[in-house]
Structure 1
């Protein structure tokens, strides 16, 4: 049996790396957990993993966040863009529908379809900027796209970047929009998870501290280097990876 610390480390690395690139972190967490029959996966661990990513994005953009809070209109837009995801996530979570979507077949199809959407979206050449062009209409469209991210395999970061690129924002600002919107999303996921633990016994274990710390470190590094990547390259690498992964999953399902 794999040590619970090794399992936790693997899940934390997956969460930290895939949360902020256009490849679904939830899909990879589900796949790795199911395929390897991990025993450490739990709601409390899931909260810790998301908390690590939340702390990383806040720490990395701490100076930008101060400017955002001073620019009340931008702060309001970010909050408005988060409402669809929070509402859809709450409904699917409270009704139990979300569990029915956590299948390898769903992940395979969403990985492929939203990878292709990302490919076509990244062909846009007009370059809009957050400070000048992010308005209520744009943020509502982006927010509606983000709501699809409750389905494993869609990728919250990926679908926001896709929507933003279709709206003609450049890659860097599309990525920043995804990062900014991740803060309410990760906070909402943590609060929702904590509410489910209210009636359960919350126990402290070093494994949870390890998950937060490792998720934070990997998330921070991913944010830093992904921004460098999108400033120099297209997003085709992630499209090709999504297609490759979907083919493997289709083979597992249908062959």
Structure 2
């Protein structure tokens, strides 16, 4: 239970920062007494806690988007209403990760969880995030979001199926390259994650019944609750932080973490 609570805390702490929560859970698992990968199912289920934090934090936005999206079908809301349009853009942007997640499910749960891959993704996508933050125009707002951009955001989010990429990091990086403001890219990234994470988490939750796993449902549930409360605090901090500061500290952290992981793997301290 203590291990699960620690992992839940780390999940909440890292989910919304562009440093990859799945990478941190994967790495931390090697240093806990059991010294084993918590598993893709544990990661997906605990993400239900952090995504519930997104719903709480952006509750007014979500209610407005959903009501306007449904209203656009009845004519109560114009089809070109920004919130109704955002509903469609969230649906469109969610399609890539759903399709790719189902197609590559076996690889996601096995091969792609190698720590060599995790270390590489931490470094490479950390440097790409730094480049995007430096080169991006940061002028576009969410009202400028197009269907094409929504698809690009969606494929960027799908890269997070690989531990080390980061769901928020991948989508925010795409947004910065497309010229969006930091806060706008982050807001869309968080909203875009809701359908995918809830779909994946609930699927893994149902699938986990009757199957052996590192942590039982009670332990996983406790970790999910911890992830919710920690995640809620981190969202508030992160949205305030990026409105004034760059992503450079996260880039440096990713490169150092990835480099340290390479050293530990090379010395045989941990196994991939």
Task: Report what 1:16 is aligned to.
Answer: 12
Question: CA offsets, 1:48-92, max 9 Å, x none?
Answer: 412211211111111010121212211111111011011111111
Cα distance 1:209–1:143, how it changes in 2: closer, same or farther (>3 A)? closer
Task: Please state whether the residue corresponding to 2:31 is helix, strand or coil.
Answer: helix
The alpha-carbon deviation at position 46 of structure 1 amounts to 3.7
Unaligned stretches of 5+ residues in structure 2: 69-82, 268-272
1:81 and 2:77 are equivalent in the alignment: no
Task: Report what 2:207 is aligned to.
Answer: 196
Kept after mapping to 1: 8 A contact 2:6/2:223: no
Cα distance 1:247–1:96, how it changes in 2: closer, same or farther (>3 A)? closer
Question: Which one of the candidate residues 18, 21, 40 is aligned to 1:25?
Answer: 21
- How many angstroms apart in 1 are the aligned matches of 2:108 and 2:42? 21
Task: Report what 1:214 is aligned to.
Answer: 226
The alpha-carbon deviation at position 186 of structure 1 amounts to 1.2
Task: Report what 1:53 is aligned to.
Answer: 50
Residues 213-232 of structure 1: matches in 2 within 5 Å?
A: 213-232=225-244
Task: Report what 1:67 is aligned to.
Answer: 64
- How many angstroms apart in 1 are the aligned matches of 2:43 and 2:28? 14
> Normalised by the size of structure 2, how large is the TM-score?
0.85
Kept after mapping to 2: 8 A contact 1:24/1:155: yes
The alpha-carbon deviation at position 222 of structure 1 amounts to 0.7
- How many angstroms apart in 2 are the aligned matches of 1:35 and 1:116? 26
Kept after mapping to 1: 8 A contact 2:92/2:151: yes
Task: Report what 1:119 is aligned to.
Answer: 130
Cα distance 1:198–1:109, how it changes in 2: closer, same or farther (>3 A)? same
Question: CA offsets, 1:98-122, max 9 Å, x none?
Answer: 4111011101110000001000100
Kept after mapping to 2: 8 A contact 1:161/1:174: yes
Task: Please state whether the residue corresponding to 1:169 is helix, strand or coil.
Answer: coil
Cα distance 1:178–1:8, how it changes in 2: closer, same or farther (>3 A)? same
Kept after mapping to 1: 8 A contact 2:25/2:43: no
The alpha-carbon deviation at position 230 of structure 1 amounts to 0.3
Number of equivalent positions:
249
Task: Report what 2:190 is aligned to.
Answer: 179
- How many angstroms apart in 1 are the aligned matches of 2:250 and 2:222? 28
The alpha-carbon deviation at position 194 of structure 1 amounts to 2.7
Residues 27-176 of structure 1: matches in 2 within 5 Å?
A: 27-36=23-32, 37-38=34-35, 41=38, 45-69=42-66, 70=68, 71-93=83-105, 95-96=106-107, 98-123=109-134, 124-131=136-143, 133-176=144-187
Q: Which runs of at least 4 in structure 1 moved beyond 6 Å after TM superposition?
A: 201-204
Kept after mapping to 1: 8 A contact 2:140/2:179: yes
